[in-house]
Structure formats: structure tokens, C-alpha cells
Amino acid sequence: MAATKSTIPRFLQINKNSSLSQKMMVVGLALTLFFIFIAFFAPVFQWVGIIQNPTDSLINPIHEPPSGKYWFGTSRQGYDVFARSLFGAQAALQVVFLATALSMVVGVPLGMLSGYLGGKLDKMFLFIMDSIYTLPGMLLSVTLAFVVGKGILNAALAISIAYIPQYYRVVRNHTVSVKTEVFIEAAQAMGANTWQILSKYLFFNVIQSVPVLFTLNAADAILVLGGLGFLGLGLPDEVPEWGYDLRQALEALPTGIWWTALFPGLAMTLMVVGLSLLGEGLNDFVNPRLRKQIRG
């Protein structure tokens, strides 16, 4: 028997703008997969001799323009810009996805627990999360980076704090609306405890917006990581990172050395665009009202 429209979950129904959403998702997914590919295979490219070691100074030539030997040229430190651009994608993915995963792991359970239990616990969490949410994300990440220091895990931790309230607010709002449904009341009447209700009945009904938040936060986190690297607060100096390379290239720009800034900046831009398109496409496809809920 063919499924009717009413039997299809709302978040799987395709709206009238689905063609545009699908195009956005395809382009965004293609760009995202491209950077995942180069991040994964960058060590292989180095091993077979396609690129240089991104942390080895070539001594000579310094500030070599793009050529057949050095596709993206070399920096004033003698680094191969092409190698550092590729390995920069690896560092970005490690930090960004770790940061967004940490914020999701904290924000989703807190949002479910707060929305379901309500009362003083809910008010306390709302106050804490709203207080964090009012702070500029970049400023908060910079402050925390000063405290925890450099490193992949430390940078991810500094970035993740700013995104926890977003997961919390969206999941809490969904939980508040779902917990009054008949199937939740039936589970309570049958003696299901809080853990059982949260894990078996609420979880899969309130997380449909989480993948959207994950991709959009990942796009924003790349810019935050780049800002930390530009300020010298992100990763150790020997780790290839786009923001740090842009900072080093800034001094060479007035002298016409454009390639050391162009290629890391272009890589960062394309990766942000890819994740943003993927997130916006998912946003329209999964829940067109998500954007209003986040901004509200």
C-alpha cells in the first residue's frame, strides 16, 4: 500500500524549494568530500614525492613564485605552500570536527534533560546557556585559548564552548514540545523511568536538527580556528594551519608576494563555503523553521 503524505515523517518530506536545497547539498557535499579526500591522502602524497614535507624548510628558494616544481610557490620560511595548504585541511578537519562533536555531546543531553525535567534545573541551565550565548563566540574562544594553550585538543575545546548553547536550545525546545505527546504519556503510565524515556522515546524525535547544526557550526569553527591561528593561539607553529600561514604571509603582501596568502585563504574559503552550503541545504530540507528557532 502506497504511503500517504501523512505517514511520511515531516523532516523527510520535500518542500517546494527542494530542488534548490538539493543543489546546495550536492555542491556543499562535493566540496566537503574533496577536502576530506586531500586531508586523508596528504601523507600519501608526501610519501610518493608529490609534495614536500610541510614542516621542512627548503632553504632555497624562498618566496619562489608558483611553478611546475612548486605549484603554489614557497613562503618566506622556505615552506612549500602547496604542501602546507593540503596538510592545513587535515589540521582543520581534526580540530573542527572534534570541536563540533564535543559541543554536540554536551549540548544534546543537557537540552533533553533540561527540557524534559523542567523546573529549577531547567531555569538554571537556561540561565547558564543564555549567558554563554550572549558572549561573542570568537572572543570566548580566544579567551579560552589563552588559558588552555596550543594544541589540537586544546583548540577544539576552546572553540566548542561557544556552540554548546546552540545544541542545548534547539534540542530543549524540541523536547519541551515532544514531551507532551501521547506516546510519552503512555510510556510514563507504563512505568518507564527518565533514562528510558530520554533514550528510547525522546532522542530520535528531537535530533533531526542536529546534523544541520553540526555542519553550520563546523563551517563557522573553521573561521574561528583560522582566527586563533592568525593570532598565534591555535596550533603549535610547526603544525600546518591556514590561519597561521596567513599571518606569516601578511608581511610579504606589500612586496608583491601574493601566493603565500592566496592559496591558504582560498582553501579556507572553499571549505567554509562547502560546509555552509551543505548545512543550509540540510536546513531547508530537514526543517525550514530551524533558522527562526536558532535566532529566536
Beta strands per DSSP E along 115-217: none
DSSP per-residue codes, 28-63: HHHHHHHHHHHHHHHHHHHHTTSS--TTS---SSSS
To the question of pTM greater than 0.75 for the whole model, the response is yes
Distance set, CA 248 to CA 116, 230, 252 (Å): 50, 8, 8
CB count in 10 Å sphere of residue 87: 25
The x, y and z cell numbers of residue 92, run together, are 582543520
Assign 3-class secondary structure to 69-94. Answer: CCCCCECCCCCEHHHHHHHHHHHHHH
Residues 6+ apart with CB under 8 A from 225: 92, 95, 96, 99, 155, 159, 234, 241, 243
Domain ranges of the chain: 35-52+71-295
- Can you give the pLDDT at residue 296? 43
The x, y and z cell numbers of residue 272, run together, are 567554509
Please report, in tens digits, the pLDDT of each residue of the chain (296 residues total).
Answer: 444 444 444 444 444 445 677 788 889 999 999 999 999 998 888 887 777 888 777 666 778 888 878 888 888 888 889 999 999 999 999 999 999 999 999 999 999 999 888 888 889 999 999 989 888 888 899 999 988 888 999 999 999 999 999 999 999 998 888 888 888 888 878 877 888 888 888 888 888 888 888 998 999 999 999 999 999 888 888 889 999 999 988 888 888 889 989 999 999 999 999 999 998 888 777 665 544 444 44
Q: DSSP letter at 162?
A: G
CATH number for domain 35-52+71-295, candidates 3.30.479.30, 1.10.3720.10, 1.25.60.10, 3.30.230.10:
1.10.3720.10
63-82 burial string, b = 16+ CB within 10 Å, else e? bbebeeebbbbbbebbbbbb
What is the rounded CA–CA span in Å between residue 155 and residue 280?
25
Assign 3-class secondary structure to 203-247. Answer: HHHHCCCHHHHHHHHHHHHHHHHHHHHHCCCCCCCCCCCHHHHHH
What is the rounded CA–CA span in Å between residue 154 and residue 160?
10
Of 290, 228, 292, 293, nearest to 11 (Cα)?
290
